[in-house]
Amino acid sequence: MAIIFPDTSHTFGEYLLIPGLTTPECTVDKISLRTPLAKYSPAKEESRINLNIPFVSAIMQSVSNDTMAIALARNGGLSFIFGSQPIEEEAEMVARVKKFKAGFVRSDANVSPKDTLADVLAITQRMGHSTIGVTDDGTPDGVLCGIVTSRDYRLSTDSLDRKVADFMTPFERLTTGCKGISLSEANDIIWAHKLNALPIIDEEQRLCYFVFRKDYDSHKENPLELQNPHNKTLMVGAGINTRDYKERVPALVEAGADVLCIDSSDGFSVWQQETIAWIREQYGDSVIVGAGNVVDREGFRYLVEAGADFVKVGIGGGSICITREQKGIGRGQATAVIDVAKARDDYYHETGIYVPICSDGGIVHDYHMTLALAMGADFLMMGRYFARFDESPTEKLRIGNNIVKEYWGEGSNRAHNWQRYDGGGTSTTMKFEEGVDSYVPYAGPMKDTLDQTLSKIKATMSSCGTVDLKSLRKNAKLTLVSSTSIIEGGAHDVIRKDRT
Ligand code: RVP
C-alpha cells in the first residue's frame, strides 16, 4: 500500500512563535543574521561561504540578473543568476557582477582632446554626469589626457567650438591613483587634495576607473557587503540544469561564479546525482553546488549522498507556481522545512557534516521569514519579494491606480524553462505550464524595504531570546494556530482610519 504521511501538511501562515526570555544579551543591536551556505564540519572549520543576511534571490528571469546580484550582495545576501538563457549570456552576467568594484566606477562619459565644448555638453546632458574623462581616443579605457568638470568652462562666454584640449584640466595637473589601491586609500587622497573625483590609471596611464567622494560614503553604508575573501569581488551564484551542464558549468566557473545551484522543480532525480558527480569528477570540491528541490528526508538524503553542498526545499509553494494544481505534487512549505531540517540534523549527528538547507518559495509576510528560519532553514530563497524592487530586471507599469512590476514563473510559457521541469527522455519542451505570468506591487529601491524586513526579523529574534540563527533554530518555540486566531492576529473589530 502507498505510504500515507500521518501529519497534515502545513504552511507558514499557520504558525506563530512564542516569546522566550529577552535579556540584555539579545537586544536587536547584538543580533547576527550570518548563516552558512555550503556544507562544512563545524568541529573543524567554517563554511566556505557565509551569507551576512539569510536571503538569496530566486533563479528566475524576472528576478535575478546582474543588477539584482550586485544590489543584494552589497546588502549581504546572494543572487543566483537565472539559467534559462544562453550560456554565454548567463556567464556575461556573472562576469559583470565580478567586475563590479564598490566605489570604483568605469567612466561612461568620455571625450577626446579634439572634441568640442558642444560634445561635452551633449554627453553631460545624456549621461547626467558632471565629470568627464578625456582620453586620447575618447574611450573609457584610453590613455588619460585630462578631465573636464563644469568648473572648466563658462557657458556665457565660451564658444561651443572650443576644443576640449584648450579648457580641460590636463593630466600634468591632475592627482591620480594607481590601479590596485584600496577604496580607503583612494578616499584618503580625495580628502588630502580636496577632490570630488579621483581618476585611477594603470602603468600605461590608461584610465581604469573614477572614485567619487560620494561613493565612499555609500560603501560605508553597506557594512554587510558579501565579498569573496580571496579577491574582494562581490559574490554571485548561478543556476544550472541537468542537460547542458558540461558546457554551462565550465563557462560559469570561468566567469567567476562563487556557487552554482541545480535548478529544478523536483530535484529528487538521478539526473541531479549525475550532474553533481560530473562536477566532482572535473573540479573536485572546488566548485560549490547546491541541489533541489525536495520536500522530505528521503530526497534530502539522496542529494546529500550525491555530494550536494546545500539542499533547496520546496515544491509548489511559490507565489507564481501552479505545480500542485497541475501535477498534484508538493507539500506545505512549513512541514517540508521542518521535516528536511530534522533530516539535516540527523545527518550532522551521524557524520559531523552540516549541510545547510534553503527554504525556497512561499514567503508572503516578513514574519514568515523568521518562522522559516526558526523551523530550521539556514537561508531563504525568494522570488516575489525581490521582483518588486527597482533592481529586478522587469518592466515597471501603471495598472489603474497601482504601480506594478512584472513577475513570471520559470514554468510559465513566457519563461519556457523546460529544463527546470525536465522529466528526462528526449522531450525538449514543456507539455503544460507549471507557472503563471503576473504583476507584483512595485516597492521602490531594495534597500529601504530590506532594512525594514531585517529589523522585523531581529525584533522577533530578540523576543524569542535568541542572538543568532543557530540559537533561533535550537530554542524557538512554535505553535500551530486555528483559523479563528489568525483573524485575531490582524486589526479586527475596529474601523481603520486608513481604509475609510
Ligand atoms: P516566491 O518567493 O513565493 O515567489 O517563490 C519563488 C520560487 O518559486 C522560486 O525560487 C522557485 O523555486 C519557484 N518557481 C519559479 N518558477 C516557478 C513556476 O513557474 N512554477 N516556480
Residue 182 in this model has a pLDDT that exceeds 90:
no
Q: Could you tell me if 110 and 94 lie in one domain?
A: no
Phi then psi for residue 91, to 5 deg, are: -65, -35
On whether both 130 and 263 belong to a single domain, the answer is no
According to the annotation, is 318 in a ligand binding site? yes
Residues 6+ positions from 256 with CB-CB distance below 8 Å:
94, 95, 97, 98, 233, 236
Q: Is the pLDDT of residue 282 over 70?
A: yes
Separation of alpha carbons 284 and 103, rounded Å? 35
Where does the pLDDT of residue 219 fall: very low under 50, low under 70, confident under 90, or very high at 90 and above?
low
Segment 265-285 shows an average pLDDT of 97
Q: How confident is the model at residue 430 (pLDDT cuts 50, 70, 90)?
A: confident
In tens, the pLDDT along 285-330 reads: 999 999 999 999 999 999 999 999 999 999 999 999 999 999 999 9
pLDDT over 90 percentage in the chain? 83
Instruction: Please state which of the ranges 247-256, 300-309, 456-465, 476-485 shows the lowest mean pLDDT.
Output: 476-485
Query: For residue 253, what pLDDT band results from cuts at 50, 70 and 90?
Result: very high
Indicate which atom in ligand 1 lies nearest the CA of residue 60.
15
List, as one string, the DSSP characters of 44-79. Answer: T---S-EESSSEEE-S-TTT-SHHHHHHHHHTT-EE
354-395: pLDDT as tens digits? 999 999 999 999 999 999 999 999 999 999 999 999 999 998
pLDDT bin (cut points 50, 70, 90) of residue 431 is confident
Grade residue 107 by pLDDT with cuts at 50, 70 and 90: confident
What is the count of structural domains for the chain? 2
Which burial class, exposed, middle or buried, applies to 185 when counting CB atoms under 10 A from its CB (0-12, 13-18, 19+)? middle
pLDDT at 127 over 80: no
Under the banding of pLDDT at 50, 70 and 90, the label for residue 493 is: confident
- The active-site residue, picked from 26, 145, 208, 321, is 321
What pLDDT, on a 0 to 100 scale, did the predictor assign at position 422?
A: 85
**At which of 212, 243, 258 does a domain end?**
212
> What pLDDT shows up at residue 498?
84
> Given this model, what pLDDT does residue 222 score?
83
Q: Do 345 and 433 fall within a single domain? A: yes
| Claim to verify: residue 94 and residue 203 sit in the same structural domain | no
Mean pLDDT across 156-163: 92
φ/ψ region of 349 (left if φ > 0, alpha if ψ in -120 to 50, else beta) reads: alpha
Q: Which of 263, 253, 257 is nearest to 291 (CA)?
A: 263
- pTM for the full predicted model: 0.86
Domain boundary among 164, 183, 212: 212
Instruction: Determine the Cα–Cα distance for residues 23 and 33; give it in Å rounded to an integer.
Output: 18
Query: Do 144 and 250 belong to one domain?
Result: no
Do 311 and 416 have their domain in common?
Answer: yes
> Residue 150 sits in which domain range?
105-212
Range in 42-51, 164-173, 219-228 with the lowest mean pLDDT = 219-228
Q: Residue 38: pLDDT above 90?
A: yes
Residue 350 alpha carbon to ligand 1 centre in Å: 32
HSE-up of 323 (CA within 13 Å, CB side)?
A: 22
CA of residue 316 to ligand 1 center, whole Å: 8
> Ligand 1: which residues within 6 Å by Cβ?
58, 60, 314, 318-321, 323, 360-363, 381-385, 409-412, 434-435
Give the confidence band of 217 by pLDDT, cuts at 50, 70, 90.
low
Domain co-membership, 44 together with 189: no
**Residue 399 grid coordinates:** 495598472
Whether 135 and 259 share a structural domain: no
| CATH number reported for the structural domain that contains residue 393 in this entry | 3.20.20.70
ipTM of the complex: 0.99
Picking from 212, 246, 266, the residue at the C-terminal end of a domain is 212
Could you read off the pLDDT of 57-92 as tens digits, one per residue?
999 999 999 999 999 999 999 999 999 999 999 999
Task: Tell me if 499 is assigned to some domain.
Answer: no
**266 and 327 housed in the same domain:** yes
Q: Which atom of ligand 1 is nearest to the CA of 412?
A: 19
Of 321, 324, 337, 379, which is best to mutate to test ligand 1, by the most ligand atoms within 8 angstroms of its C-beta? 321
- Report whether pLDDT(215) > 70: no
The average pLDDT across 217-230 equals: 80
Q: Are residues 265 and 143 in the same domain?
A: no
Terminal C-alpha separation, the chain: 56
**CATH number where 180 lies:** 3.10.580.10
Q: Nearest C-alpha to atom 10 of ligand 1 is from which residue? A: 58
Give domain status of residue 2, yes or no: no
Same domain as 130, residue 90: no
The question of whether 420 is a catalytic residue gets the answer yes
Q: How large is the average pLDDT for residues 443-472?
A: 97
Q: Report the pLDDT value the prediction gives residue 216, as an integer from 0 to 100.
A: 64
Please report the atom of ligand 1 found closest to the CA of residue 384.
Answer: 4
Is 398 catalytic? The answer is no
pLDDT of residue 306: 98
332 located within any domain: yes
Average pLDDT, the chain: 94
Residue 5 domain flag: no
Looking at the fold, whether 236 and 136 belong to one and the same domain comes out as no
pLDDT of residue 218: 59
- The set of cell numbers assigned to 208 is 581604469
In a domain, residue 310? The reply is yes
